[in-house]
Amino acid sequence: MDKRRVTDEKRLLHGGDYNPDQWLTYPDILEEDVKLMKLAHTNTFSVGIFAWAALEPEEGRYAFDWLDKVIEGIDSIGGRFILATPSGARPAWMSKAHPEVLRTDAYRRKHLHGARHNHCFSSPYYREKTQEMNRKLAERYGNHPALLMWHISNEYGGECHCDLCQENFRTFLKNKYDNDLDKLNHSWWGPFWSHTITDWEQIESPSPIGESAVHGMNLDWRRFVSHQTIDFYKSEIEPLRELTPSIPITTNFMSDNPEFVPFTGLDYSEFAKEVDVISWDAYPAWHNDWEDTATTASRTAFLNDHFYTMKNQPFLLMESTPSAVNWHDVNKAKRPGMHYLSSMQMLAHGSDSILYFQWRKSRGSSEKFHGAVVDHDRSSENRVFKEVAQLGQAMEEVSEKVTGYRRVADVAILYDVESDWALKDAQGFGLKTKHYGETLQKHYQSFWDKNIAVDIVTKEQDISAYKLLIVPMLYMMSEETAITLQTFVKNGGTLVSTYLTGLVDESDLTHMGGWLKPLRETFGIEPLETDTFYPSDKNTMVYKGFEYEIKDYATIMEAKGANVLGQYESDFYEGTPALTEHAYYEGKAYYIGARLEQRFHDAFYEELIKKMDLKPALAASHKRGVSIQSREANGMQTIFIMNFTEKTQTLTLHERVLDSQSGEYIEGDLKLKPYDVRIVEKSKEA
Ligand code: GLA
Ligand code: ZN
């Protein structure tokens, strides 16, 4: 089996986190679960997440019988199980007997037992114990025909500042700087506030992060935390790779919440290299009171595309809620139809699964009111259960035409987590208005609105095949990346960048002698100053006869070969360039000097889409909030048409497509009720 294709049976996965270890004294509940799983049209369950206390009740005494039975139950209905390693939480006996497993925070306070996701990633004992546990799990279940994949730990994140981690940090730095403190001091700009290091032993993790003024060190600390976490993960999977080489491995990634932007706790672009399949946990705040449903949908789409592009292959939605969560400020129930729509959106963007946190609501503790398929009423008749079952049925019907299908995009937006770290740390500009992730999502939205597929690439990925590459606010940029962008344009690509791009190098040291030469040449401009706005400050730019408002940032620049497409309308830089276009070799480079309102992005990218003849997957009229996304394989396209508005919308389809559900061909007017989804097919034009 191809390890990257967990769904080689052409079956979309439907199910989720199942925690039977909470119900071992309720045999009737466990029996009921299996019956309800069938009724819910579910087929895949992640078991064992947080079950360490049940699997090893006391040190060295293992108990697997209960898990055998649970797996038997899942198997009996033709289901598959995703087996978790339980390291996301430890049993109390372990914390008591081996306190080194407990995390130390940035204030050097040792955590007490409790909560979860709070172990030390360096602890030799914990590494040994997880390997031992994982070996036992692999020995016992590795050959089980219903085992689908490994789910390693849970939502890796956080950091530890214990002595062991400090030692590992120093070793990491010695390797990075070739044992040369001069190199480290240069990189960290050591003499600033007398921070020169004269002995490796003087180095300690930033304490607490955020208050440390040594930005080079903060950046290296983030890199170390990421490295150490991935290293722990690699240690966890050793016995699994050895005993079950053909079973794919994943760990569930997440987003930064509540902002709902790319996760910044770890460098996922590095982590992605170590997993066979990307999976992630998505909790958009549907029906919130700060943005319309279409905007929430567009931001969810962005994150899906971010995870798809990480390995350029279908991913799994590992967790989602069928109703509400319990940790948003307001935990709103999904309105009727939203569960179906929001789940279909995941499939449309490349997920081969809809999995939930959680199968059954727990009876006690902090997640007892978190949404689940089975509520405390134990009923298959309530609204949530019925909507889940309806979705499951629909997924069974479209499985063949979705599973493993790929996404294809001509446009890419570049996201860089290291730049995100550095920009968050940067003291200057607007301390509260950087909003890197959100800015990317705003650029993305203009394409989502026009149904143009977008990939979210990293600086390491191959960009040469894209027609259009958008690089907003890439604050930290190495000379190497600048040259990559230059080459992209030279070879015919269209590049868009913005204010706050290319200011510091990969050590967070500013570039000296003006903007990087490859950037100056490519964009045909010279940025001179960045003006930062108070919320009440006003300025505008006129583009193609319309006036657009500027917020937060304005780059004052000189055009040196670029055409000026927009100028500032007031202040001391009135009449100077705000938006430029530069024809460079075979390509073009645009520089958006100011943070402009969304209306501008929409107008600007609409023009570019037209000029570059970028095409949506389906020729159809366009309605704000109606999203069309496509997956394809073997010359066929499966296209999802989704209404993320509370209104009935009528689209005009300019080509004939097959309606997957009715089996009839449709063309012309297509009426979509609020939250409606239609799945259509067509063969891909050559
Ligand atoms: C995370 C965790 C789950 C659960 C959910 C609740 O995603 O992985 O265990 O706590 O949040 O939304
Ligand atoms: Zn530690």
The closest of 460, 453, 351, 445 to 415, measured between CA atoms, is: 460
Question: How do residues 233-268 score in pLDDT, each as one tens digit?
Answer: 999 999 999 999 999 999 999 999 999 999 999 999
What are the Cα distances from residue 307, in Å, to 212, 214, 303, 414, 582? 31, 32, 6, 13, 32
Residue 457 in this model has a pLDDT that exceeds 60: yes
Say if residues 647 and 618 touch (Cβ distance below 8 Å): no
pLDDT of residue 4: 43
What residue's CA is closest to ligand 1, atom 5? 357
Helices (H), 193-337: 215-243, 268-271, 293-311
**Mutate which of 152, 154, 319 for ligand 1 pocket (most atoms within 8 A of beta carbon):** 319
Ligand 1 centroid vs 357 CA: distance in angstroms? 6
CA of 385 to the centre of ligand 2 (A): 42
Number of CB atoms found within 10 A of residue 243's CB: 15
Averaged pLDDT score across all residues of the chain: 96
Residues 6 or more apart whose Cβ sits within 8 Å of residue 179: none
The protein residue with its alpha carbon nearest to ligand 1, atom 4, reads 357
- The pLDDT assigned to 604 comes to 98
Task: Count CB atoms within 10 A of the CB of residue 663.
Answer: 7
Identify which ligand lies nearest to the alpha carbon of 365: 1
Taking the whole predicted model, whether its pTM rises above 0.85 is answered as yes
Among residues 134, 131, 103, which one has the least CA distance to residue 116? Answer: 103
Separation between Cα atoms, residue 40 and residue 375, nearest integer Å: 13
Q: What is the DSSP string of 594-618?
A: EEE-HHHHHHHHHHHHHHHT---SS
For the purposes of burial, counting CB atoms within 10 Å of the CB of 618, is it exposed (0-12), middle (13-18) or buried (19 or more)? buried
**Mean pLDDT for the stretch of residues 289-303:** 98
High-pLDDT (> 70) share of the chain, %? 98
Distance 163 CA to ligand 2 centre (A): 7
Distance 123 CA to ligand 2 centre (A): 6
Task: State mean pLDDT over 557-585.
Answer: 98
**For the CA of 154, the nearest atom of ligand 1:** 8
Ligand at minimal distance from the CA of 120 is: 2
Q: What is the DSSP letter of 508?
A: S
Torsion, Cα of 156, 161, 165, 171 (10° steps): 110
Q: Whose CA is nearest to atom 12 of ligand 1?
A: 325
Q: How far is the CA of 369 from the centre of ligand 1 (A)?
A: 12
Q: How many whole angstroms from 86 Cα to the centroid of ligand 1? A: 14
Close Cβ partners of 599 (under 8 Å, ≥ 6 residues apart): 546, 548
Q: Which residues surround ligand 2, an ion (CB under 5 A)?
A: 120, 122, 160, 162, 164-165
Nearest ligand to the CA of 163 is 2
Beta bridge partners of 279: 252, 316
Residues 6+ apart with CB under 8 A from 152: 84, 85, 87, 233, 236, 237, 249, 250, 251
| Strand partners for 468 | 411, 494
Give the ligand at the shortest distance from the Cα of 229.
Answer: 2
- 283 CA: nearest ligand 1 atom: 12
* Cα–Cα distance list, 170 to 164, 217, 232, 289, 487 (Å): 10, 11, 17, 46, 37
| Strand-strand pairing, 665-672 and 636-643 | unpaired
Ligand 1 nearest atom to the CA of residue 50, by list position: 9
Pocket test for ligand 1, best of 257, 356, 357, 359 (most atoms within 8 A of CB): 357
- Alpha helices, DSSP H only, in 41-162? 52-55, 65-76, 92-97, 124-141
From the number of C-beta atoms within 10 Å of its C-beta (0-12, 13-18, 19+), residue 311 rates as: middle
Longest dimension (CA), the chain: 77
- Report the C-alpha gap between 314 and 255 in whole angstroms: 18
C-alpha torsion angle, residues 587, 593, 597, 598 (rounded to 10): 20
> In the prediction, which pLDDT does 1 show?
43
Q: For residue 253, list its beta bridge partners.
A: 280
Which CB contacts under 8 angstroms, 24+ apart, belong to 558-563? 558/525, 558/526, 558/528, 559/524, 559/525, 560/520, 560/524, 560/525, 560/526, 561/524, 561/525, 562/523, 562/524, 562/525, 562/589, 562/591
Give the ligand with the smallest distance to the CA of 164. Answer: 2
Ligand 1 atom showing the smallest separation from residue 155 Cα: 8
Which of 573, 584, 484, 483 is closest to 525 using CA atoms? 584
Ligand 1: atom nearest CA of 321 is 12
**Residues contacting residue 286 through CB under 8 Å, at least 6 positions apart:** 293, 296, 332, 334, 335, 338, 342
Active site residues: 155, 319
CA of 249 to the centre of ligand 2 (A): 25
pLDDT in tens, 27-75: 999 999 999 999 999 999 999 999 999 999 999 999 999 999 999 999 9
Q: How far apart are CA 526 and CA 515, in angstroms?
A: 7
Q: Which two tokens stand for residue 519?
A: 């950037």
Measured from CB, residues less than 6 Å from any atom of ligand 1 are: 154-155, 281, 283, 319, 325, 327, 357, 367, 370
Q: Residue 210, by phi and psi: left (phi above 0), alpha (psi -120 to 50) or beta?
A: left
Q: Distance, CA 120 to ligand 2 centroid (Å)?
A: 4
Q: For ligand 1, pick from 367, 369, 373 the residue to mutate: most ligand atoms within 8 Å of CB.
A: 367
| Domains of the chain as residue ranges with CATH | 6-164+214-402 (3.20.20.80), 411-612 (3.40.50.880), 620-683 (2.60.40.1180)
- For 144-165, the pLDDT digits (tens) are 999 999 999 999 999 999 999 9
Pocket test for ligand 1, best of 21, 281, 369 (most atoms within 8 A of CB): 281
Residue 643: pLDDT over 70: yes
3 pLDDT above the threshold of 80? no
Can you tell me whether residue 270 is helix, strand or coil?
Answer: helix
- Tell me the pLDDT tens digit for each residue of 188-229: 999 999 999 999 999 999 978 667 899 999 999 999 999 999
Nearest CA owner, ligand 1 atom 7? 281
pLDDT (0 to 100) of residue 5: 47
For residue 7, the model assigns a pLDDT of 59
Nearest partner of 7 among 405, 406, 404, 355, judged by Cα: 404
Are 268 and 311 in contact by the 8 Å Cβ rule? The answer is no
The ligand 1 atom at the shortest distance from the C-alpha of residue 319 is: 7
User: 326-337, pLDDT tens digit by residue?
Assistant: 999 999 999 999
- The Å distance, Cα 149 to ligand 2 centre, comes to 29
DSSP string covering 432-471: T---HHHHHHHHHHHHHHTT--EEEE-TTS--TT-SEEEE
